[in-house]
Structures are given as structure tokens and as C-alpha cells.
A = this chain, B = another copy of it.
């Protein structure tokens, strides 16, 4: 029965093969997941697939960086920078737009942001000039008095290096710089905490 020399593809029409290939370029999506997604999309109502395709195009067309904070925006100035009810003299510095989003979700910060678009990582050849660092310094000297800069870079080696760099750069400007507290996460279990977290939690202990 087997005719081994048969020339053949993968049994998929070219349009499906192409979709699987495009989906497999996404991070964390291998060829198997991509074809599972493609089959799922095939069985979806037409409008839903069109909605996904359109939202991709719309995102690429509309989303720009805010000229002030470099967060994502669909206007030259983002909604947060343009909001008169926010405190414009408290700037929270984050590595990326996803970090800004996480802080906004917490609904506890009422100031504005500055997005660096990365962190200092000498091993990867990323220095301050590859980030929106000069833009931050220009903003601090140019604008009205800034009361506080909250450095909210990640608690990683790169994030710490970036925080130290910013703190040092702010000294001569006379701007108060603070860093996010480190310690046990909410719901954190002592038993399963790593030593670095416990060390931060101990060092940062507060009187009750």
C-alpha cells in the first residue's frame, strides 16, 4: 500500500500552512501550538477572525510612544501625561510599558511615568544612551519642580544597576529619588521564599 516516493506536503492547504508559520513566530508558540491555534481559528465565526486581524493592523497603525513619558499611546501625548488630575511632580521610572501597566492595575499611584524601554545591561551592550535616560534627565531639568522620582525598575541585576545609575544622575539635580520596597510578596510564604527575598525583608523590616 505504501508508496514512499509520493511527493506530498503536510496535507494542509497552503493558506493554513502559511498561517501556522506566521503564528509559530510568536514567542513561546511552537509549531504544534501554532497549528492548534490555526485549527481553532478555522472553526471560528468569520467575524472573530476578521476582528483579530483588524486589531493587529490597528495596533500597528495607531500605537505610538508618548512624547513626554514614552509610554504607549494613540496620541502624541498619552492619557496619563495629559490628565490634569494626576500629580505631575511625582515621576515613576519603569523599564517597559508592561511595568507601567502593572502599576496602573494596582490603582494606587497618582503621579506620572517615565518609560526607559530597557535597563542597563553591559553584558548585552546596553548602556544609558540606548534607553530613554537622557530624555528623563532633560525632563527633570526642563519641567517645573519635580518633587520625587520613584525608581521602579525590576528587582534584577539590570534593574538594580539602572536604579543606581539614575540615583547618581539625580544627585546633582537635587531631586529626591526613591526605590520600590523589597520584601515578601503578598501571600508570600516564608518557607518557600528565596534567600535574597528574605534578606531584603529582614533588612527592610519596619517597627509596628
Kindly state the separation between the CA atoms of A101 and B13 in the bound complex, as whole angstroms.
10
Q: Which of A32-40, A130-138, A164-172 contacts B (4 or more CB under 8 A)?
A: A32-40
User: What residues of B have a CB within 8 angstroms of the CB of A12 in the complex?
Assistant: 72, 97, 101
Whether B101 pairs with A10 at a CB distance below 8 angstroms is yes
Q: Quick one: closest B residue to A87, CB to CB? A: B1
Chain A, residues 74-94, CB within 8 Å of chain B (1/0): the string is 100011100101110010000
> Is A126 part of the binding interface, using a Cβ–Cβ cutoff of 8 Å?
no
Q: Which of B42, B104, B111 contacts A8 (CB 8 A)?
A: B104
Contacts A39-B98, A101-B10, A104-B10; A58 near B1 (Cβ below 8 A): no
Q: Which of A43-51, A153-161, A182-190, A193-201 contacts B (4 or more CB under 8 A)?
A: A43-51
Q: Quick one: closest B residue to A29, CB to CB? A: B37
Kindly state the separation between the CA atoms of A27 and B108 in the bound complex, as whole angstroms.
32
User: What residues of B have a CB within 8 angstroms of the CB of A54 in the complex?
Assistant: 53
A interface majority secondary structure: helix
Whether B49 pairs with A56 at a CB distance below 8 angstroms is yes
User: What residues of B have a CB within 8 angstroms of the CB of A80 in the complex?
Assistant: 8, 11
Whether B35 pairs with A27 at a CB distance below 8 angstroms is no
Kindly state the separation between the CA atoms of A104 and B10 in the bound complex, as whole angstroms.
6
Contacts A11-B100, A28-B33, A36-B27; A57 near B62 (Cβ below 8 A): no
> Is A208 part of the binding interface, using a Cβ–Cβ cutoff of 8 Å?
no
Whether B63 pairs with A96 at a CB distance below 8 angstroms is no
> Is A9 part of the binding interface, using a Cβ–Cβ cutoff of 8 Å?
yes
Kindly state the separation between the CA atoms of A151 and B173 in the bound complex, as whole angstroms.
77
Kindly state the separation between the CA atoms of A23 and B28 in the bound complex, as whole angstroms.
14
> Is A16 part of the binding interface, using a Cβ–Cβ cutoff of 8 Å?
yes
User: What residues of B have a CB within 8 angstroms of the CB of A101 in the complex?
Assistant: 10-12, 35
Given A2-B109, A18-B55, A18-B59, 15 additional A-B pairs, CB 8 A: A1-B110, A3-B110, A8-B83, A9-B104, A11-B97, A11-B100, A11-B105, A13-B74, A19-B55, A22-B55, A26-B41, A28-B36, A38-B59, A41-B56, A49-B56
